[in-house]
């Protein structure tokens, strides 16, 4: 069973142009994410990009980068293009680590990989581990929901380590809702199925592609994140915050 990390990285970004190349404490953001992944138990890491500029940057720090189509509608489509080129088997594992998450804890990546093959003699074995899930994602268990209706912040409803729903707004009781972190692990067979399904009505309406999986009956496991810092860098203000956080490393 191969363990692969693929990092999607587009050059174009409306709010922060050339985002993957922005410097955080002297290193481009994409390098921070790549280095975090390299400290996990992954076998291979690839940056999936539509930009020669990003590819050159990645290769400059001895990373692996694959040029992909610029026509992809989603990051998952870009991930699949690379995974397909690798000739993976159905049970091989692929983790989509967002390129704008420079402070992801390698332990989070490890836990996603391990979620697919927990065995009963493992002291951390739990009954939900035997569920035949094809996807795993993360949420922040130590953050509250200060902006329940902030549509830029995706939330996840979790029960017994299983994702029940995703939303940009939460109405009523929010006790089972958490901040969702945009990292996904797949069995390769599940990733292939996902990209071959039509976009679901809810996915289109709420602009959340993970709803396509739920709407097609996919069981998504949800794990609490171990990362100390949860920062998706989307704006200049986020970039300033990232540079402050970097000083703590």
Cβ(37)–Cβ(5) under 8 Å?
yes
Could you tell me what percentage of the chain is helix, strand and coil, using 3-state DSSP and rounding each to the nearest 5? 30, 25, 45
Residue at token pair 């989603």: 74
From the list 171, 155, 169, the residue with the least C-alpha distance to 210 is 155
**Which class for 155: exposed (0-12), middle (13-18), buried (19 or more C-beta within 10 A)?**
buried
Backbone angles phi, psi at 192, to 5 degrees: -65, -45
Rounded CA gap, 35 and 247, in Å?
Answer: 16
Q: What is the mean pLDDT of residues 46-55?
A: 95
Identify any residues that bridge with 98 across adjacent strands, giving them in sequence order: none
Tell me 182's DSSP state.
E
Summarised one tens digit per residue, pLDDT across range 108-122 is 999 999 998 754 344
Listed in order, strand segments (DSSP E) in the chain are: 3-9, 23-24, 27-28, 44-49, 65-67, 93-96, 135-140, 155-159, 162-167, 177-187, 220-224
Rounded CA gap, 40 and 215, in Å?
Answer: 31
Min mean pLDDT across 51-60, 143-152, 168-177 is at 143-152
Cβ-Cβ contacts under 8 Å for 248 (sequence gap 6 or more):
none
Domains and CATH numbers, the chain: 3-246 (3.90.550.10)
Q: What is the pTM of this model?
A: 0.88
Q: What angle do CA 249, 7, 16 make, to 5 degrees?
A: 75
Summarised one tens digit per residue, pLDDT across range 93-102 is 999 998 888 9
Residue 15 pLDDT exceeds 80 = no
């Amino acid at each position: 069973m191969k363990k692969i990390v693929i990092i999607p990285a587009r050059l174009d970004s409306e709010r922060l142009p050339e985002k993957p190349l922005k410097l955080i404490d002297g290193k481009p953001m994409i390098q921070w994410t790549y280095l975090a992944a390299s400290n996990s138990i992954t076998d291979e890491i690839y940056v999936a990009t539509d930009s020669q500029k990003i590819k050159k940057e990645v290769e400059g720090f001895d990373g692996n980068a694959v040029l992909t189509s610029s026509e992809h509608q989603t990051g998952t489509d870009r991930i699949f293009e690379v995974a397909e080129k690798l000739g993976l088997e159905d049970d091989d594992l692929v983790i989509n680590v967002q390129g704008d998450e420079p402070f992801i804890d390698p332990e989070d990546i490890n836990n996603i990989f391990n979620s697919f093959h927990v065995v009963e003699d493992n002291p951390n074995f739990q009954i939900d581990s035997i569920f035949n899930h094809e996807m795993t994602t993360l949420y922040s268990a130590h953050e509250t929901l200060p902006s329940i209706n902030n549509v830029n912040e995706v939330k996840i409803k979790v029960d017994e380590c299983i994702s029940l729903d995703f939303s940009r707004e939460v109405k009523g009781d929010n006790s089972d809702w958490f901040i969702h972190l945009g990292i996904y692990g797949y069995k390769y067979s599940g990733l292939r199925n996902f990209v071959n399904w039509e976009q679901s009505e809810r996915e289109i309406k709420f602009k959340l592609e993970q709803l396509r999986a739920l709407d097609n009956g996919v069981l998504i496991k949800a794990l609490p994140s171990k990362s100390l810092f949860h920062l998706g860098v989307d704006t200049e203000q986020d970039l300033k915050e990232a540079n402050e956080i970097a000083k703590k490393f």
